[in-house]
Structure 1
Amino acid sequence: MVKVTPVEDAKESFKEILPKIPDRYTRKIKKAKWKEAATSEEAEALWRAKVLEAAERKRRKAGLEKVSEEEWRNLAANLGSKRIKESLEGRIDKWAANWRPYAEALASAELPPRSADPEENIERRVKPVVKTLVQKKKEILGEGT
């Protein structure tokens, strides 16, 4: 028989160690060498296999079904709202650098004047905008046209 700590005891132990976790996490992150392993062909193959397995077993759907609308709303409102500002503030310059080539491509796109016909506007104005963005993304990713 396997000796298992009672759940309530494990919970109390976890509460005791919890204050130490952020500093330990930061120390480990500073030492981590992750990129070479994460970008290897083996890692890519494993990731693909696990994503396919999860999709075949409908794990996403099963996981989502375990969370109620109320639970999601509470976590999103109470936890997400606290984290989103901090997360975004530190990434404004990166966002601007990533958006710049798309903004420049859009600014250089020539569009005909609007017409009274919405379908015509879709064909003549909306589709060229989408095409411009798709071409720019392919160019950035090195995929050509």
Structure 2
Amino acid sequence: MVRTKGLERTNANWKASHGRVSAAYSAGIDGAQDVIAKAIAGEDNYAAGVSNAVANRSRAKGLEKVSDADWKKAAKEKGAPRIVSGMKAGEGKYSAGMSKNLSVIESVTIPPRTQDGMANIDNRLKPIAAALMASKGK
């Protein structure tokens, strides 16, 4: 039988790590090398893992363990307090991405709006969507 420290000690160790985890996380990032190249090299493993997860219904099985109320509670308690700091940290990337997207949108010539809503979708919206997709190679 494998001996562990038990749940109580494991939980205590986890709680005690909260004060040092940010620095340890950052140190781990600093020590990482060739992250992108290694991730690209692992693409086949990633695809196989995703395929296995889909085949095994892993996502659905996990979702079946929680309720809408559980999700809402976690999203409010964990997500809401940190969303702004994440947005602020990503501001430069957001701005760069939006700059590209807005340039693509502004390059599209569309006809004047008509009274036919479906024609407006076809003639005004779809060309913008097509241009954005083309700019991303899709």
Q: TM-score of the superposition, structure 1-length normalised?
A: 0.85
Is 1:113 the counterpart of 2:103? The answer is no
Mean CA deviation greater in 16-25 or 30-39: 16-25
5+ residue gaps, structure 2: none
* RCO comparison, higher one (Cα < 8 Å, 6+): 2
- Measure how far apart 1:102 and its partner are: 1.8
Distance 1:77 1:21 in 2: 22
Distance 2:21 2:95 in 1: 33
Count of residue pairs brought into register by the alignment: 137
5+ residue gaps, structure 1: none
Distance 2:128 2:76 in 1: 34
CA change 1:23–1:101 in 2 (3 A) is closer
- Measure how far apart 1:4 and its partner are: 2.9
Mean CA deviation greater in 21-30 or 58-67: 21-30
Q: Deviations over 1:73-106 (max 9, x none)?
A: 1111121111110011121121111121221121
Distance 1:23 1:105 in 2: 40
Distance 1:17 1:132 in 2: 48
Is 1:94 the counterpart of 2:104? The answer is no
- Measure how far apart 1:15 and its partner are: 2.4
Is 1:128 the counterpart of 2:111? The answer is no
- Superposed, 1:1-145 pairs within 5 Å as 1-33=1-33, 34-40=35-41, 43-138=42-137
C-alpha RMSD of the superposition: 1.6
Q: Which runs of 4+ in 1 moved over 4 A?
A: none
Q: TM-score of the superposition, structure 2-length normalised?
A: 0.89
